[in-house]
Amino acid sequence: MMREEMVQANWEQLYDEHAAALVLYARQWVTSVSDAEDAVQDAFVRLLKSARTFGDRPVPILYQAVKWAALDKVRQRERVGRREETAACFGPAETLFECSLEGAERREQIEGALHGLAADQREVLVLHIWGNLSFREIGLTLGISQNTAASRYRYALKNLGAILNKQELIA
């Protein structure tokens, strides 16, 4: 197998293994699943075009690229919105998780609780749980220490539990 074919096969495997988690990660910044999917695709295209090698664990770099692509989408949307002088062109945000009708209410509670977290805590939570990244890899992805990543994760779990418990008391 030629080097180019090997590189392509590795990226295809990375996509197959991580695409769903990367889309969820991108959803922290963009308003729709389609924009999140576009951000993931843009990140893969950018990384494939770059001549860099990413070592044994390209996943943290992939998450960084997805974040940058998602933020680019946000900036692009803002420019379009300003140019058209209306924010009404955006539809309602789509749900983060797919589930049965019975789980729809619980899904809404969890999504609301996730959005209630501080952005840095939510980002670490998504990277660790859905991205399956270690705290060391999260640190590399976000440019923070692994101890900071671990503490943000602990705070996120604590705050998520408090938000969900508060919602149950109200309901």
Neighbour count for residue 95 (Cβ, 10 Å): 13
Question: Domain boundaries in the chain?
Answer: 1-94, 96-171
- CATH number (1.10.1060.10, 2.60.40.10, 1.10.10.10, 2.30.29.30) of 96-171 reads 1.10.10.10
Q: What is the DSSP letter of 44?
A: H
> Is residue 126 helix, strand or coil?
helix
Q: What is the pTM of this model?
A: 0.62
**Tokens coding 42:** 């843009």
At 76 the pLDDT is: 85
pLDDT tens for each residue of the chain, 171 residues long: 444 544 555 788 889 999 999 999 999 999 899 999 999 999 998 888 875 666 667 888 899 999 999 999 988 887 766 655 443 334 445 555 555 555 677 777 888 888 889 999 999 999 999 899 999 999 999 999 999 999 999 999 999 988 888 866 565
CATH topology for 1-94 is Rna Polymerase Sigma Factor; Chain: A (1.10.1740)
Neighbour count for residue 52 (Cβ, 10 Å): 8
Q: Give Cβ neighbours of residue 18 (< 8 Å, ≥ 6 apart).
A: 59, 62, 131
Domains 1-94 and 96-171 are alike in CATH topology: no
